[in-house]
């Protein structure tokens, strides 16, 4: 059952940061995979700490080999042992948990819901999704919304931005009057700015392509916005630097920080990392990254675990609905083939007896055909009904296989 569903990928659960930052799946990854024989649907999901490919394929072994190959090519290395794979209904359970924030670095974080939604919309627009993945992602998004509306999981959750700011605050002994440099003006930059403003830090926003957004953030939270060309000048005046861009390359090098000529606290929340890791060894530079943030989060999980426990029954309820739909989908080809076999039997009987009915009128012929179809329909009613019930119960495989064997069906 459900053998067509498959997911492969890696995340902060089991894959180190230096590997995660080398791999980011895109809609093009999904397009590449659906062009291969036997792979019918594909959705690529990329978040700050997760790169996954969801597939619907005829054979799990084929899907696994294709996905592993695509991920290894993106990473530029073999990923044996780092890739996590799931099949069947476990794929749905995993995606439901991801969308609800239960698999996030920060349990209950809300941004992942939007990231899953965008991944699904990309697949729709590119034509790489299909009936099974459409239903899977729609149900996952609904489940995630239910968890957030019916539990306190998001309200009690910390965010990567808040933990990043807290690390900086403790390293500096306070943020009031400190000059903070926020590199990146996206969603993480906005969350970081809000947290900094609440603690009295003066903020400078640095952005390359999104200068207008940086200007908007400076108006909302105070401070100023500067262009990326002014980064070196701003490093020489800052007390702390928080980076959160989506750049595929290093934004701040070891040499940049050495040239700043002053002690700095630097918190890098980007994947790939914005700051060259070797800068950690510079005198006066205290550099933190997502691995440090993850360790910090693991120290205080009790409130978020309570919210996650309340979310589990909601997700299981939603999962049962998806399982029933998928199981019914599994028996549909058998029901269709059974009905086609019945229609073929009627047509064969009518052809074989054609010469015996020379004296029948057209109306009588139609009546004979109707009687024959009625008899076949009556005979097939009970096995068809049992097939549908088996599908709705979530365990159709054995019954469907028996029907196919008894009636000699190829479906």
Q: Are 24 and 51 in contact (CB under 8 A)?
A: yes
Q: Choose the catalytic residue: 10, 15, 42, 48.
A: 48
28's enclosing H/E stretch is helix 27-34
Q: Smallest Cα–Cα separation from 181: which of 247, 274, 283?
A: 274
* Cα separation, 158 vs 46, whole angstroms: 21
> Is there a catalytic annotation at residue 48?
yes
Cα separation, 404 vs 333, in Å, equals: 10
Beta bridge partners of 42: 55
**Cis peptide bond upstream of 272, omega within 30:** yes
Cβ within 8 Å of residue 60, ≥6 positions away: 3, 6, 87
Q: CB count, 10 Å around CB of 349?
A: 15
In this structure, the dihedral spanned by the alpha carbons of residues 8, 11, 17 and 23, taken in order and rounded to 10 degrees, is 40
- Neighbouring CB atoms inside 10 A of 169's CB total 19
Alpha-carbon dihedral angle through residues 365, 370, 376, 379, given to the nearest 10 degrees: -140
Q: How large is the angle between the packed helices 211-221 and 187-198, nearest 10 degrees? A: 20
CA dihedral (30, 31, 33, 36) in degrees, to 10, reads 160
Query: Phi then psi for 127, rounded to 5 degrees?
Result: 75, 25
Under a CB-based contact definition with an 8 Å cutoff, are residues 345 and 337 in contact?
A: no
Query: Token pair for residue 1?
Result: 């059952």
Which single residue is written with the structure tokens 């009936």?
Answer: 131
Cβ atoms of 137 and 143 closer than 8 Å: no
C-alpha 261/C-alpha 137 separation (Å) is 50
Give the residue numbers annotated as catalytic, written as ranges. 48
């Amino acid at each position: 059952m459900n053998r067509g569903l498959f997911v492969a990928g890696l995340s902060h659960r089991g894959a180190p940061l230096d590997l995660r930052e080398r791999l980011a799946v895109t809609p093009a990854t999904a397009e590449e995979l659906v062009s291969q024989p036997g792979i019918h649907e594909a959705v690529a999901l990329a978040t700050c700490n997760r790169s996954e490919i969801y597939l619907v394929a005829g054979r799990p072994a084929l899907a696994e080999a294709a996905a592993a190959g695509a991920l290894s090519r993106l990473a530029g290395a073999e990923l044996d042992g780092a890739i996590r794979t799931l099949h069947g209904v476990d794929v749905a359970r995993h995606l439901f948990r991801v969308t609800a924030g239960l698999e996030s670095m920060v349990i209950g974080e809300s941004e992942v819901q939007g990231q899953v939604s965008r991944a699904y919309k990309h697949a729709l627009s590119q034509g790489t999704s299909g009936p099974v993945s459409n239903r899977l992602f729609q149900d996952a998004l609904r489940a995630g919304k239910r968890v957030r509306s019916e539990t306190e999981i998001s309200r009690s959750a910390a965010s990567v931005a808040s933990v990043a700011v807290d690390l900086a605050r403790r390293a500096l002994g306070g943020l009031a009057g400190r000059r903070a440099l926020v590199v990146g003006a996206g969603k993480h930059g906005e969350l970081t700015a809000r947290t900094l403003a609440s603690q009295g830090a003066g903020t400078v926003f640095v952005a390359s392509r999104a200068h207008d957004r940086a200007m908007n953030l400076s108006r909302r939270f105070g401070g100023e916005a500067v262009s990326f060309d002014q980064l070196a000048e701003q490093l020489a005046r800052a007390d702390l630097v928080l980076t959160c861009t989506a750049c595929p390359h290093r934004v701040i090098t070891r040499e940049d920080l050495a040239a700043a000529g002053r002690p700095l606290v630097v918190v890098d929340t980007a994947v790939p990392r914005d700051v060259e890791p070797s800068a950690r060894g510079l005198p006066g530079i205290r550099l933190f990254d997502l691995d440090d943030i993850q360790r910090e989060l693991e120290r205080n999980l009790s409130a978020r675990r309570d919210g996650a426990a309340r979310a589990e029954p909601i997700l299981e309820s939603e999962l049962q609905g998806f399982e029933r739909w998928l199981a019914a989908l599994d028996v549909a080809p058998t029901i269709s083939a059974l009905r086609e076999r019945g229609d073929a039997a009627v047509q064969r009987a009518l052809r074989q007896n054609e010469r015996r009915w020379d004296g029948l009128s057209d109306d009588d012929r139609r009546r004979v055909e109707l009687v024959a179809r009625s008899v076949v329909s009556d005979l097939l009613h009970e096995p068809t009904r049992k097939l549908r019930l088996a599908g709705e119960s979530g365990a159709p495989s054995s019954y469907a296989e028996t029907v196919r064997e008894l009636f000699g069906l190829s479906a």
